[in-house]
Amino acid sequence: KAGVTQTPRYLIKTRGQQVTLSCSPISGHRSVSWYQQTPGQGLQFLFEYFSETQRNKGNFPGRFSGRQFSNSRSEMNVSTLELGDSALYLCASSLMQNTEAFFGQGTRLTVV
């Protein structure tokens, strides 16, 4: 079966702009989580969606938001980009809570 697909793979944005990242989960998976990966902080949880509802949110500012559509595809949005937002953003999907999370390849965001 097809894995988790994230688009785009690479993005370069300038400070102050906004960006939208997309994640298509594995077919049948209703839970989608987002993580930010940086060399300094490692992998940090952003938020998780299940059936179009945000169930949990990490400690990130309100500039980071997300949503999930009825087909379980998810998007995350970062507004007013800062240099520190440069990171690899990973999406993971799972069938249910506490089951294996399958990760996408990530979107590499560079803010200049």
Partner 1 sequence: AQRVTQPEKLLSVFKGAPVELKCNYSYSGSPELFWYVQYSRQRLQLLLRHISRESIKGFTADLNKGETSFHLKKPFAQEEDSAMYYCAPSDGGGSNYKLTFGKGTLLTVNP
The neighbour count for residue 68, using CB atoms within 10 Å, is 23
Counting contacts by CB under 8 A, is residue 9 touching partner 1? Answer: no
CA distances from 68 to 45, 96, 102, 111 (A): 16, 15, 17, 25
Nearer residue to partner 1 within complex by CB, 44 or 65: 44
Region near partner 1 per CB under 8 A, out of 19-27, 60-68, 72-80, 93-101: 93-101
CA distance 19 to 17: 7
Cβ proximity to partner 1: between 33 and 85 the closer is: 33
Query: Is position 85 an interface residue for partner 1 (rule: CB under 8 A)?
Result: no
- The pattern of x and - marking residues 27 through 66 that bind partner 1 according to CB under 8 A reads ----x-x-x------xxxx--x-x----xx-x--------
Write b or e for each residue in 72-85: b if 16 or more Cβ atoms lie within 10 A of its Cβ, otherwise e.
bbbbbebeebeeeb
Q: Where on the phi/psi map is residue 80: left (φ > 0), alpha (ψ -120 to 50), or beta?
A: left
Among 21, 26, 104, 109, binds partner 1 (CB under 8 A): 104
Question: Is 13 or 67 the residue whose CB approaches partner 1 more closely?
Answer: 67
